[in-house]
């Protein structure tokens, strides 16, 4: 057991009595409870039983497994799981794709799971990437976490690795999940905002939940504004266990790393994309696969023992914490390629049912309390959404290996079991399914002792150290983006005390960050810090947590738009088109009319998009190739002015010829290193591989 987890409950109860001010108190896990404003109704179960603790699940000991007898947890989550039908309560807006997983390095010393031991074996997968907060009809590009779920159809049954594009989460205990989602969803009295965190109920909840501060840093960063679903990382979030032939277990964290590298949009760009193409990410994935540009991710693991975990300056069972790559390096063991779009969106992407409890022999769970709750919640949700305990027989959910048991009947039963026997053990059938002690699933042999209670481990009490590490690990530009995002979000919050509370928390993360946000909100002075339940530690910055600092020097997977008009130079267009496609990007021709234009050679060039409906926000870089007459005509067209202004404002490379330069002058766009001569294809390709970050201070005010 982690020595940090052996602290007795006396210290925890002492922490629970901390009173930072007369309006609130801090719990053992650092959660703030409002006690001001007079008497409150008693919180009870649906049976009227008063609830003593609504923050912690019942577990065998402070870091032990969650107990099935916890009727408060079960009632709360069961009711929550059945609140919506048939749309998913969270992760409703998703894009699913078929593909395969290929193991490149065996983990035979750590696990018996064949999918992790048989090098070269290709296993079918179905991957669904989704937003969290919005409904099925919401936009693709809000500031939001992205779910990253992979169903492996292995030889030994289905393994569902259900995670996010962020390695940590908002809360430490599953019992708090219904409250988190209720807070982030549309406010119930007005049914807005949709797919947005910039409102009072979300930030009110966050202000009273210090454990969320690390996640807040991530969601306010560029990580939640991805350029493409093909350019995000994926994480299993929790610690799991691998079990080898000898029965020894090793802790593991799972990572997906995109071969195209990470790339994000900026906020103003994301907002405009949502208007130009609400399906931007889904369309991008569809077009890439249709063109044969199959997205690929490396699969990596972090492996560590209990003894190594005991030396970590945090508890790895706390889902609000990550393990820095500098502390436990990533080991790449495989790859995933997505290469086939679903035949029917509803039958596959909508009906796919992921459950973290779906694991195969050689893999097991940890005592992460959020994971423990998810093991119950997901299958309960699928019973509600898909209407039957037989949802596993829907083709997208069915294993591709043989499977059989004595479960029978039920709504929507797909197969037709035959024979007299539907129980085990039996002596009446020689071919009915039997248990297989040698090769069947075995749980890790872990000793659990202690007094069962509703108390959070003291090792979970540090809510600010990793939030601070994440912020200090970012480049200066990314830090500015985080500050600006906080100002934007909190400016949408009506209640001043909520804004003040969040800025108070930011003071534990970084005083400069708090000052920047406070200035952006026009505070005359900084609000006080809340009392921290644990000392904030100074952890070394981790460059692996950046996006800008580790962007790949590539144009692969990107898109370039070429704006043309009547009389444009066909030779220059051809030269740029070839250079861009040779660099691995796609090209789309944009013209005032979708039918295209007549070039200087007299030939017609068909357009891929009409100017008014295909703005520059849809591209990573643009070229503007215009004749004198074409430039003159477009100078009177607001869509053309917006096309180049937005490209410049969104820090994109712009290639221009003489006519294009004239349009830039009309739009009052200055020259910089990102505005290049269209005849210098190499300079354009180099500039197009990244954003022109040096331009940002000249085009917008950052907090």
Catalytic residues: 91, 164
Nearby residues of 427 by Cβ (< 8 Å), 6 or more positions away = none
Residues 6+ apart with CB under 8 A from 657: 569, 572, 624, 625, 626, 677, 678, 679
The CA distances from residue 179 to 168, 175, 608, in Å, are 18, 8, 46
| Alpha carbons 642 and 623: distance in angstroms, whole number | 14
CA-angle at 527, arms to 522 and 529, nearest 5°? 145
* C-alpha 528, offset from chain centre: 32
Cβ-proximal residues to 619 (8 Å cutoff; 6+ apart), any chain: 559, 560, 561, 588, 647, 652
**In the chain, how long is the greatest CA-to-CA distance?**
90
β-pairing, 146-154 vs 157-164, is antiparallel
Would you tell me how many other CB atoms lie within 10 Å of the CB of residue 257? 17
The neighbour count for residue 423, using CB atoms within 10 Å, is: 10
Please report, for residues 44, 545, 609, 624, the alpha-carbon distance to residue 616 in angstroms, rounded to integers and kept in the order given.
54, 29, 11, 11
CA distances from 697 to 127, 221, 226, 489 (A): 39, 18, 22, 21
Strands 609-610 and 24-26: unpaired
Rounded distance between C-alpha atoms, residue 34 and residue 71, angstroms: 25
Q: Rounded to an integer, what distance in angstroms lies between the CA atom of residue 278 and that of residue 284?
A: 11
CA pair distance 560, 585, nearest whole angstrom? 7
Q: According to the 3-state scheme, what is the secondary structure of 487-503?
A: HHHHHCCCCHHHHHHHH
């Amino acid at each position: 057991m982690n020595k940090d987890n052996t602290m007795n409950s006396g210290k925890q109860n002492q922490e629970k009595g901390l009173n930072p001010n007369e309006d609130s108190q801090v719990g053992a896990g650092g959660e703030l409870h409002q006690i001001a404003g007079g008497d409150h109704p008693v919180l009870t179960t649906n049976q009227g039983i008063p609830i003593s603790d609504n923050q912690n699940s019942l577990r065998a000991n402070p870091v032990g497994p969650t107990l099935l007898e916890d009727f408060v947890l079960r009632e709360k989550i069961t009711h929550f799981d059945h609140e919506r039908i048939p749309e998913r309560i969270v992760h409703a807006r998703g894009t699913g794709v078929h593909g395969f997983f290929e193991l490149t390095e065996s983990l035979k010393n750590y696990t018996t799971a064949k999918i992790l031991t048989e090098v070269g074996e290709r296993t079918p997968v179905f991957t669904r990437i989704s937003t969290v907060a919005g409904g099925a009809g919401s936009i693709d590009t809000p500031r939001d976490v992205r779910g990253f779920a992979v169903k492996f159809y292995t030889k030994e049954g289905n393994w569902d690795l259900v995670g996010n594009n962020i390695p940590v989460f908002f809360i430490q205990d599953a019992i708090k999940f219904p409250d988190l989602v209720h807070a982030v969803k549309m406010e119930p009295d007005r049914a807005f905002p949709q797919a947005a965190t910039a409102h009072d109920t979300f930030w009110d909840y966050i202000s009273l939940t210090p454990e969320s501060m690390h996640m807040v840093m991530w969601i306010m960063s560029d990580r939640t504004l991805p350029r493409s679903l093909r350019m995000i990382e994926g994480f299993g979030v929790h610690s799991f266990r691998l079990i080898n032939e000898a029965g020894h277990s090793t802790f593991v964290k799972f990572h997906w790393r995109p071969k195209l590298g990470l790339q994000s949009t900026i906020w103003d760009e994301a907002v405009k994309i949502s208007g130009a193409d609400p399906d931007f990410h889904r369309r991008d994935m569809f077009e890439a696969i249709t063109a044969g540009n199959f997205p690929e991710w490396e699969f990596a693991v972090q492996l560590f023992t209990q003894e190594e975990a005991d030396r970590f300056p945090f508890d790895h069972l706390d889902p609000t914490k990550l393990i820095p790559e500098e502390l436990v390096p990533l080991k790449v063991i495989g790859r995933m390629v997505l290469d086939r779009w679903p035949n029917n969106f509803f039958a596959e992407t909508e009906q796919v049912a992921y459950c973290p409890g779906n694991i195969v022999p050689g893999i097991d769970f940890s005592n992460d309390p959020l994971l423990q709750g998810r093991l119950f919640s997901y299958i309960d949700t699928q019973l509600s959404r898909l209407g039957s305990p037989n949802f596993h027989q829907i083709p997208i959910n069915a294993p591709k290996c043989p499977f059989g048991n004595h479960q029978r009947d039920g709504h929507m039963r797909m197969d037709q079991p035959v024979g007299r026997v539907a129980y085990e053990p039996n002596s009446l059938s020689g071919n009915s399914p039997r248990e297989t002690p040698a090769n069947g699933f075995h749980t890790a042999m872990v000793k659990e002792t202690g007094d069962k209670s509703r108390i959070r481990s003291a090792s979970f009490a540090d809510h600010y150290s990793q939030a601070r590490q994440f912020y200090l690990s970012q480049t200066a530009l990314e830090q500015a983006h985080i500050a600006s995002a906080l100002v934007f979000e909190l400016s949408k919050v009506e209640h001043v005390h909520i804004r003040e509370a969040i800025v108070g928390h930011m003071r534990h993360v970084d005083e400069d960050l708090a000052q920047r946000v406070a200035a952006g909100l026009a505070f005359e002075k900084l609000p006080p810090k809340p009392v921290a339940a644990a000392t904030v530690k100074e952890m070394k910055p981790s460059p692996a947590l950046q996006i800008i600092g580790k962007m790949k020097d590539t144009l692969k997977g990107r898109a370039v738009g070429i704006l043309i008009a009547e009389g444009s130079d066909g030779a220059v267009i051809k030269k740029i088109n070839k250079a861009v496609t040779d660099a691995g990007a796609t090209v789309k021709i944009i013209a005032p009319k979708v039918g295209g234009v007549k070039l200087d050679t007299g030939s017609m060039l068909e357009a891929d998009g009409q100017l008014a409906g295909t703005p520059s926000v849809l591209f990573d870089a643009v070229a503007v190739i215009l004749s004198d007459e074409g430039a003159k005509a477009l100078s009177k067209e607001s869509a053309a002015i917006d096309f180049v202004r937005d490209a410049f404002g969104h820090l994109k490379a712009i290639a221009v010829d003489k006519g294009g330069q004239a349009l830039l002058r009309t739009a009052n766009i200055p020259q910089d290193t990102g505005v290049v001569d269209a005849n210098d294809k190499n300079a354009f390709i180099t500039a197009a591989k990244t954003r022109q970050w040096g331009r940002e201070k000249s085009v917008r005010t950052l907090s």
